[in-house]
Amino acid sequence: MTAFHALSLLLAHPELDDPNFRRSVVYLLEHDENGACGVVLNRPRMLDVAEHLELSCAVTPPSVFYEGGPVETNAVLALGSDGYSQPTLLDIDALKAGAVSAPPQMRFFVGYAGWSPGQLEAELSGESWFVLPLVRDPLGCDDVFGGDPEGLWRRVLRRQRGPLSSLALYPDDLMAN
């Protein structure tokens, strides 16, 4: 099994058919003896952040909410970064109140992905996920804040070495192939 830790990417295997995670790229925020949690990076929704949250700062385009995962789908989480450091969770209430400065990069998520103790490890040994490094590039293809979130799954695969990169060519529907 691949070693992994928080601040890694979890990339869904192309044959993972769980509708919550099909072709998902998850940014793993926490992983410890209590389980793991993260947010799905490549599922933007058509809900504009500015229409639902009173913020006096800009949100990284596209400025929409993302489906963070199937857990607590009524909760909103925010990730932020200065463009160089690892993205971290932000205090949304402090942002709304102007008590903290908004970082230059921000994304908002509805819900999150969560695993109980040992659950993610079991899914990894079952080859449901690939553990890959996060790319931080403030000038281009940043995994968390970059453009074209729908293309992120294939983009992450294409940059891998060896046979893993060929999975980027995996058809969306094997039956239509």
Reported as a single tens digit per residue, the pLDDT across 28-41 is 999 999 999 999 99
For the stretch 40-74, pLDDT in tens is 999 999 999 999 998 878 888 889 999 999 999 99
d(CA 167, CA 125): 19
For the stretch 91-134, pLDDT in tens is 999 998 888 889 999 999 999 999 999 999 999 999 999 999 98
User: What tokens were used for 33?
Assistant: 């003896």
Reported pTM:
0.92
d(CA 94, CA 169): 43
Q: Domain extents for the chain?
A: 9-176
Cα–Cα distances (Å) from 30 to 6, 25, 67, in that order, read 5, 15, 18
- Please name the CATH architecture into which domain 9-176 falls: 3-Layer(aba) Sandwich (3.40)
Cβ-count burial of 175 within 10 angstroms (0-12 exposed, 13-18 middle, 19+ buried)?
A: exposed
- Count of CA atoms in the C-beta half-sphere (13 A) of 162: 1
